[in-house]
Structure 1
Amino acid sequence: MSGTAFQFANPGWLWLLLALPVIAILRGRAGRAVALRLPSVSDARHVGGRPRSKVGGFLRALMLLGLALLIVALARPQLGRGRTEIETSGIDIVLAIDVSGSMEAMDFKLDGQQVNRLEVVKNVVEKFVGERPGDRIGMVAFAGRPYLVSPLTLDHDWLKKRLDEVQIGRVEDGTAIGSAIASSVNHLRDSEAKSRIVILLTDGVNNAGAANPVTAAEAAKTLGIKIYTIGAGIEGQAPMPVRDAFGRKRYAMMDVEIDEESLRQIAQQTGGRYFRATDTNSLAEIYDSINQLEKTKRTVKKYEDYEELFLFAMLPGLGLLLIERLLSETRYRHLP
């Protein structure tokens, strides 16, 4: 980031500008009357008081303006050209989010309202992204197959917009956990970041796709990619939206099944951790924990160069004072 800024190195000198109106008043009162030769006493009656020459006022203005510019020069005006460089943290993250039909289960709450799992996940993930400004983050959504939501990017505003557009039903239903891991790893394969991680969230069991989750995790381990896994949903049964014979939407309690053993194995095999989220608060705490586990300091470098501008005030100021002196001592020397 770069920018420019104007400043005074010695701003205390600017207080002298307050003395200029006083000088102007004193010089005005001390001016000499114009010497005129009047033909008669009666003509003198029509001459009021102590007239001042307009030229005298002009010379006074030159002097005051010259002094003002010299005071500004003493204050040392400067034009600063600064540049700030923020180095990235060296962490690349791919968020893999389950968007299968089971993510419609209404077992989470958001702001006191019952909502489906995906809405809560999107809300928590958006906050997680906002807390990692120095990381490149990408996103993969998956159901029966994975698809790219966003490549690795530092443009997190654009990433959040893409997250808002994530919906259930965009691809065929199913839970392709292995394929999601393989896709996420593939997007990190060519990354040169010091740390590369995948955060995979699912609420089901691998039942689609060609890749085996454990085999995909082995490939991630070989490439030095760490995987954090999250199982989302309450234990037992959860309310799921269904359609009756008349097409009307209603909710029915459905069994919840998460392959926690495989998710735990995937995480441990790659050096990550497995978490279970049964409500909104626990999900938020999980992402916060991962945020702390993968925390690195960003390096900020600032460069500032200042250009001195006092000559642009001093030279015109001296010039005006010189002109005022020359005029006072030559053509207008008898004028106040």
Structure 2
Amino acid sequence: MFDYLLSIKFEYPYLLLLILLFVFCSIFCKAKIPTYIIPHLNIFSQSKHKSIILTSILKYLVIIGSIIALASPYKQLNTQLIKNDGIDIVLSLDTSGSMKEKGLNRNNESEERFDVVKSIVKDFIPKRINDNIAIVVFGTSVMMATPLSFDKEAQKEIVDYLEVGIVGDKTAMLDSLASSVNILKDSKAKSKIVILLSDGEDNASNIPLEIILKLLKKYSIKVYTVGIGNSNKIMLNKISNETNGKSYTAYSKDDLNEIYKRIDLLEKSKIENNKITLKEYLFFYPLFLAIISLIIYIYLKNKE
């Protein structure tokens, strides 16, 4: 019972201050009534005293019950999200052989590039609370590591299992974009984006760049490209420019971390404005108490 009372909230809590105002006025703002001394009326004093106490209690119940009802007490049941106004994101990650190179993390020169990428991606995923995320990895071929999902914890665990060379040592970057299009083409989200990370030239794709760009434009998919080092800048810039995205280059772990932070700020989901909060309104109970108290109060006053 106590836990239930603690869970009750008010839509207009400031109205409850009127209760303090009422108590203050009842103590310090009493009307001055002339006093008449009539002897031999002691016989009525006890019954009169009880009547005054009862009517005072009823008066307080009427006022306090009415104010609580006006403050609109409610119990929040749960929140539902309208997911169609969120963002669907595909993280396309290069797992080719070159991602084994070291030196990207200047604080730990022995850490491989892909391990740096994994740590940053695992930090990025939980920030997208309201968005669907899928993960695609590419090397000689392309593999969907996770489909579009809201399960961020499962995705972080899957990222831990990804390794360099998991789908070959070459770089099928354009084919990875084709797989990303395949994931996003039926999406009903208001915004669809791909964050493509690569550190090398495309040397294994079967689909031409022109076809990929047409597909991305057809399904209104925006691509943010992240290049590690100076490799393949021309193609990455072209892809991002043609799809209204942005192109970034990272030379260190700090650069890479800052890039993902910028993308996170640029692509903010509006789903927060489309939450449906289910509430159980409780104003009826204090209002009912106030009405019953008022009826009894009027009845007693008319009897006096």
Q: TM bucket by the smaller chain?
A: 0.5 to 0.7
Which residues in structure 2 correspond to 1:161-200 (within 5 Å)? Answer: 161-200=157-196
Cα separation, 2, equivalents of 1:184 and 1:8: 44
Match of 1:84 in 2: 79
C-alpha spacing 1:214/1:165, structure 2 compared with 1 (3 Å) = farther
Matched, 1:270 2:215: no
Q: CA deviation at 1:270?
A: 1.1
Match of 1:243 in 2: none
Which residues in structure 2 correspond to 1:147-226 (within 5 Å)? Answer: 147-226=143-222
Match of 1:113 in 2: 108
Match of 1:293 in 2: 266
Give SS of 2:214's match: helix
Q: 2:130 aligns with which of 129, 134, 149?
A: 134
**Aligned-partner residue type, residue 269 of structure 2:** T
**Aligned-partner residue type, residue 241 of structure 2:** Q
Which has the larger Rg? 1
Q: CA deviation at 1:80?
A: 3.2
C-alpha spacing 1:277/1:191, structure 2 compared with 1 (3 Å) = same
**Aligned-partner residue type, residue 98 of structure 1:** D
Q: CA deviation at 1:83?
A: 2.1
Q: CA deviation at 1:301?
A: 3.3
Conserved in 2, the CA contact under 8 Å of 1:6 and 1:80? yes
More helix by share: 2
Runs of 4+ in 1 over 6 A off after TM superposition: none
**Aligned-partner residue type, residue 232 of structure 2:** D
Give SS of 1:208's match: coil
Match of 1:146 in 2: 142
Match of 1:321 in 2: none
Cα deviation, 1:6-32, whole Å, max 9, x if unaligned, reads 55999x9xxxxxxxxxxxxxxxxxxxx
Conserved in 1, the CA contact under 8 Å of 2:97 and 2:168? no
C-alpha spacing 1:118/1:82, structure 2 compared with 1 (3 Å) = same
Cα separation, 2, equivalents of 1:269 and 1:303: 43
Match of 2:91 in 1: 95
Match of 1:260 in 2: 233
**Aligned-partner residue type, residue 276 of structure 1:** T
Match of 2:278 in 1: 303
Q: CA deviation at 1:231?
A: 0.6
Q: CA deviation at 1:92?
A: 0.6
Q: CA deviation at 1:79?
A: 8.6
Match of 1:31 in 2: none
Cα separation, 2, equivalents of 1:295 and 1:84: 20
**Aligned-partner residue type, residue 275 of structure 1:** Y
- Unaligned runs of 5+ residues in structure 1 are 13-70, 236-257, 311-336
Cα separation, 2, equivalents of 1:6 and 1:264: 53
Cα separation, 2, equivalents of 1:217 and 1:200: 14
Cα separation, 2, equivalents of 1:227 and 1:302: 34
Cα deviation, 1:275-326, whole Å, max 9, x if unaligned, reads 110001111111111112212332233232145789xxxxxxxxxxxxxxxx
Conserved in 1, the CA contact under 8 Å of 2:74 and 2:279? no
- Unaligned runs of 5+ residues in structure 2 are 11-15, 20-60, 287-304
Give SS of 1:134's match: coil
TM-score normalized by structure 2?
0.67
Cα separation, 2, equivalents of 1:210 and 1:125: 27
C-alpha spacing 1:92/1:161, structure 2 compared with 1 (3 Å) = same
Give SS of 1:124's match: helix
**Aligned-partner residue type, residue 152 of structure 1:** L
Match of 1:66 in 2: none
Cα separation, 1, equivalents of 2:75 and 2:164: 52
Q: CA deviation at 1:215?
A: 2.6
Cα separation, 2, equivalents of 1:6 and 1:228: 44
Give SS of 2:105's match: strand
Structural RMSD (CA): 3.2
Cα separation, 1, equivalents of 2:153 and 2:200: 30
Cα separation, 1, equivalents of 2:254 and 2:108: 14
**Aligned-partner residue type, residue 302 of structure 1:** T
- Kindly tell me the number of residue pairs found equivalent between the two proteins: 232
Cα separation, 1, equivalents of 2:278 and 2:235: 50
Cα separation, 1, equivalents of 2:145 and 2:9: 50
More strand by share: 1
Cα deviation, 1:98-151, whole Å, max 9, x if unaligned, reads 0011001102117x2221111111111122212111111111000001101111
Cα separation, 1, equivalents of 2:9 and 2:259: 50
TM-score normalized by structure 1?
0.61
**Aligned-partner residue type, residue 235 of structure 2:** S
